[in-house]
Amino acid sequence: MKKRTSQSPLTRILTIALFGLLAMGACKSKKKAVVAAPEPAPVERVEPARPVAPVATAEELAVSKLENYFNSIANSSNVQMANSSIQEALSMFSNQETPILIVIHEESGIKDYDEPTTIAKYLNYLKDTKKNLNFISDIRLDGNGRVSELELRRK
């Protein structure tokens, strides 16, 4: 059996003190890191008085109106209502011979179109079939804000 020396309690106390200092030192350094970081200077923010609603472009407005006209024509209960909706819709186009392209297939960015038609023929087709099976995928407006070309796709 080994006999304990007088340095044993002293070594033990120093070891405990060392661990205590390390533990306290670690805590202080964390606190210093948190406290030492200066708060950023307050930045004056200018906020609008009211939220700004997104502004719809001319193309988006035209698409919305045309979709409503197409549905109205296809769902009209009589011929007179369909004809009046057709006349209103035609007023949005540069002329009655405005080309309408219907995409029937697209692969790798290459589009295949059905036989091109005109807006007058397409609107009468909607009136006769009473089905709106297409949606507007592309629209082009002329300088006056009237539709100069329309591309449709199947829903």
Render pLDDT for 124-140 as a digit per residue (tens, 0 to 9): 999 999 999 999 999 99
Whether the per-residue pLDDT at 119 is higher than 70: the answer is yes
145 and 58 Cβ atoms separated by less than 8 Å: yes
Whether the per-residue pLDDT at 8 is higher than 90: the answer is no
Q: 0.85 cut: is pTM over it?
A: no
- Going by pLDDT thresholds of 50, 70 and 90, the confidence category of residue 14 is confident
140 and 133 Cβ atoms separated by less than 8 Å: no
Task: Specify the amino acid at residue 14.
Answer: L
Between the CA of residue 6 and those of 3, 82, 121, 132, what are the distances in Å?
Answer: 10, 111, 111, 101
- Going by pLDDT thresholds of 50, 70 and 90, the confidence category of residue 45 is confident
pLDDT at 150: 95
pLDDT at 86: 96
> Could you tell me the domains of the chain?
58-154 (3.10.450)
Least confident of 22-26, 31-35, 82-86: 31-35
Q: Judging by beta carbons within 10 Å of its beta carbon (0-12, 13-18, 19+), is residue 81 exposed, middle or buried?
A: middle
pLDDT at 46: 67
